[in-house]
Structure 1
C-alpha cells in the first residue's frame, strides 16, 4: 500500500510524468530563459514559434480557435482578469454571478464593486447548487426604474470545485439570451457569459462554442501541469480592459513575457486530460460510487448532492452530524489520507462553506464537511483505506465537537 492515499486532486493534482519529462528537456535546452518570444532575432522567433504551437495545441484540444487562447498564470488570475476587465470595460455596469462561484470570481466581483463602482447581482441556486433558470431574467433586469445599469457579465462555473455539481451551461446561456432578447455579439444589449471550467475540464464535457460562451477560464495544475500556468478562452471581439500596463502581449489582456515552457506544459496536460476524459470518468465514477455507498451506511453521514444530480465523477462531498471537520481531517491525515473540507483556496481559514450555505444548509452542516476528490493516480486501495479509517476518525471528530458544544441538546 502506498505511504499515503491522496484524495485531494480538486485542490491540486500531481504533475504528469510526460509533462515533467517535457519540461526537463525544455529547460535543459535553455528554452526557459535565453530568448524572449517577442524578440525579432532568430532565437526569439524560434521560441515564438514554439509558443504559437502550444497555443494551437491548447485550442485544438478545447475545440476553439488559437487566437481565442490567452495564457495566464492560472485559474484565479484568469477569472480575475475577466471580472475586472469587464468592470473596466463597462463603468458602472452590473456583474451577475452565482453564489457558489470560486473566490476568484466572488472576491473579484466584490473588489470591482468596492474599487470600480460595479453593481453585483447574485443568481439563485436550488438545494443541489444548480442555477435556478427562472432567476436569470430577474437578475438581469434593472433593480428599479431609475437604475438601468447595463449588465457587463454573467459568470457561472461549469462545475463546482467543492461539491462537484455540474451546471447545464447551454441552458444558462440560453436563458441569458432569452432574457435580453439579444443573441449576437456586438449588438446593443448583448450580455457576455463567462464560465470557470477549472474543476470541469478533463472531468466532464466542456464545449465553449456549443454552450455559447464568450469567455472561460482554466488552470493547469488541476490537469497535471505545474502550478503557475493557466489560460482564458476569449471570444475575439469581447472587450476585456487590461488590469495592468505592459508590452501588450496576450492581446493586451495579460502583458508580460510569456512562459514558453509553461505554455508547452499546459498544452500537453490539456491534451492528455481531454483525451483520457471518458475512460477516466468511468473508472473514477465507479470508485466514487463505491465510496458513497459505503459511507451512506454510517450513522450521521450524509451525501451532499441528491441522487440523480449531474456531478463530476471524481468528487465525493459529504457532511456529518455533530462532528468537527478539523478534527476529522487531522485524524485522516494521521492515518495517511489526504482530503479536505472543501476549497483549498481560502489560505487554510476554517469557515462554513459558502457553497453549502447558498444551497440552503445551516451553518452547522456547512462547517462539518469532507471532500474526497479522486484523480488519475487514485486506486481502489486508496478508497478502501479511507473507508477503513473513517469510522474511527469520525468518532474522534464527534468527541471534539461535543467538547466545544457543551450546552445540553445543542446539535445539528
Structure 2
C-alpha cells in the first residue's frame, strides 16, 4: 500500500494551478522583480501581481483589498494582531490596565503570545475553558468581559478538534463594548465560507499553506471602518501601510492569490465531498469498538476527525501507522510525551488523550484512500490490542 496523507490540517500540497503561478514568478524570463521597485517595468509588473493577489485574498474574505496586510503566515499574523493592538493602546495610555480574553484550546501561536504579554507587559488574561464537546460559547465571553478588556482572540476552527466557534454571535455581544475581536482563521479558510463582513470581525489571521497555497506566506485582515489601529512589529521601510515592513515575495503572494481564487470557486463543493469522506472514515472506525470521537458531533468542519482508541498506547499507535500520515496533539519534551492539552481540556483521561489521533482530509483525498486507511488502522489497532 502506498503511503496515505491524512494530515491536511498540518499543511496542504500546493494546487497545480498555484505551483504554475509560483513558477512563473521565479526566473529571469518570468515576473521575478521586487514589487517595491517602482522605477522600471519589471517592478511594476511584480507590483501588479501582488495587488492582484491582494484582491483575490480580499474577495475570498469579503474584504476590501486595502484591509489585507501581508505576513509570513498565521503565526506572524496572530502576533501582529495581538501584540500590535496591545502596543498601540500602550502608546496611547502607558498606564491603562489591559485585559485579553482567549481560550485554553487556542493554537500556541495565540497562547504563547498572550502568555508573553501577561508575563512581561502586565496584561491580564482570561482563558476560557471549553465544554466536553470542545466548544467555546458566547455566554462565556460575555461573563468574562471586564471594563478594561481590550481584545478577544478566538479561533474560528480548532486545529485539533475541528470544532467551530460561533464568531458572529461573539462579535454581536462586543458591539456594546470597546474590546475588539481577533479571529485565527487558519483552519477555517478552505473548509468553510469566511466572510469578515458577515462575521463582523476586526482582525483575522490567514495562512496560505492551509488552503493549497505556498508555505511561508499569510495575511492579516485589519478592518478599515471603523479603523482598527495596531502597532507594527517589524520595521524597516514602512511597507504594508506601515504595519509590516519587508520586501514582498512576489512568487508566494501570487501563489496565495491563486489559491484564494480556487477556494472562492470551490469551497462549498469541496466541503460537501470531503464531509462525506470524513463520515465514511468515522463509520468505519466505529466498527473497531471503544473508539471515542473528540469534539462536537456536528458543530465542526468537514475535514477534521479526531478520535481516541481505548486499549492502545498512543506513541506505539502513531509509530505503527507508518503508512498513514496522521497526527497527534501530544507534545514531546526531554523526559516524557505529554498528552494533548486540547484533549485534556475537554476532559479526556491521560490514556485517551495519549491515544488521540487527528485525521484530516482534503481536496485530493479519495474514497479509495479512506478505505485503504481504514484497513491499515483496523489492522494496527487490532494487533496492538492483542498484545
TM-score (norm 1): 0.86
Q: Equivalent residue for 2:55? A: 56
- How far apart, CA to CA, are the structure 2 residues paired with 1:360 and 1:260? 45
Kindly indicate whether residue 304 of structure 2 is the aligned counterpart of residue 312 of structure 1: no
Q: Equivalent residue for 2:181? A: 193
- How far apart, CA to CA, are the structure 1 residues paired with 2:31 and 2:75? 23
Q: CA deviation at 1:303?
A: 1.4
Q: Helix, strand or coil: the match of 1:28?
A: coil
How many equivalent residue pairs?
378
Structure 1 unaligned segments of length 5 or more: list them: 143-149, 183-189, 401-412
Q: Equivalent residue for 1:373? A: 360
- How far apart, CA to CA, are the structure 2 residues paired with 1:362 and 1:79? 30
- How far apart, CA to CA, are the structure 1 residues paired with 2:327 and 2:385? 17
Contact 1:31 1:261 in 2 (8 A): no
Q: Equivalent residue for 2:71? A: 72
1:152-193 per-position Cα deviation (integer Å, ceiling 9, x unaligned): 21011111111111111111212333xxx24xxxxxxx2110
Contact 2:134 2:346 in 1 (8 A): yes
Kindly indicate whether residue 232 of structure 2 is the aligned counterpart of residue 242 of structure 1: yes
- How far apart, CA to CA, are the structure 2 residues paired with 1:193 and 1:60? 21
- How far apart, CA to CA, are the structure 2 residues paired with 1:53 and 1:108? 32
Q: Equivalent residue for 2:7? A: 8
- How far apart, CA to CA, are the structure 2 residues paired with 1:296 and 1:305? 15
Q: Helix, strand or coil: the match of 1:27?
A: coil
Q: CA deviation at 1:209?
A: 1.0
Q: CA deviation at 1:99?
A: 1.4
Q: Tell me which moved more, 56-65 or 214-223.
A: 56-65
Kindly indicate whether residue 45 of structure 2 is the aligned counterpart of residue 46 of structure 1: yes
Contact 1:196 1:216 in 2 (8 A): yes
* Equivalence map 1:317-328=2 (5 Å): 317-328=306-317
Q: CA deviation at 1:116?
A: 2.3
Q: Helix, strand or coil: the match of 1:224?
A: coil
- How far apart, CA to CA, are the structure 2 residues paired with 1:396 and 1:238? 56
Q: Equivalent residue for 2:19? A: 20
1:118-165 per-position Cα deviation (integer Å, ceiling 9, x unaligned): 2111123221121122221221125xxxxxxx2221011111111111
Kindly indicate whether residue 285 of structure 2 is the aligned counterpart of residue 285 of structure 1: no
Contact 2:329 2:339 in 1 (8 A): no
Q: Does the C-alpha gap of structure 1 residues 206 and 350 become closer, same or farther in structure 2, counting only changes over 3 Å?
A: farther
Q: Tell me which moved more, 54-63 or 26-35.
A: 26-35
Contact 1:201 1:274 in 2 (8 A): no
Q: Equivalent residue for 1:357? A: 344
Q: CA deviation at 1:337?
A: 1.1
Equivalent residue for 2:221, pick from 233, 238, 245 = 233
Equivalent residue for 2:102, pick from 93, 97, 121 = 97
Q: Equivalent residue for 2:164? A: 166
Equivalent residue for 1:129, pick from 129, 134, 141 = 134
Contact 2:329 2:341 in 1 (8 A): no
Contact 1:296 1:303 in 2 (8 A): no
Q: Does the C-alpha gap of structure 1 residues 169 and 343 become closer, same or farther in structure 2, counting only changes over 3 Å?
A: farther
- How far apart, CA to CA, are the structure 2 residues paired with 1:383 and 1:23? 31
Structure 2 unaligned segments of length 5 or more: list them: 91-96
Q: Does the C-alpha gap of structure 1 residues 330 and 399 become closer, same or farther in structure 2, counting only changes over 3 Å?
A: farther
Q: Equivalent residue for 2:256? A: 266
Contact 1:7 1:374 in 2 (8 A): yes
TM-score (norm 2): 0.91
- CA root-mean-square deviation: 2.2
Q: Does the C-alpha gap of structure 1 residues 227 and 350 become closer, same or farther in structure 2, counting only changes over 3 Å?
A: farther
Q: CA deviation at 1:42?
A: 3.7
Contact 2:163 2:296 in 1 (8 A): no
Q: CA deviation at 1:397?
A: 4.5
- How far apart, CA to CA, are the structure 2 residues paired with 1:342 and 1:382? 23
Contact 2:35 2:45 in 1 (8 A): no
Q: Equivalent residue for 1:186? A: none
Q: Does the C-alpha gap of structure 1 residues 4 and 45 become closer, same or farther in structure 2, counting only changes over 3 Å?
A: same
Q: Equivalent residue for 1:211? A: 199
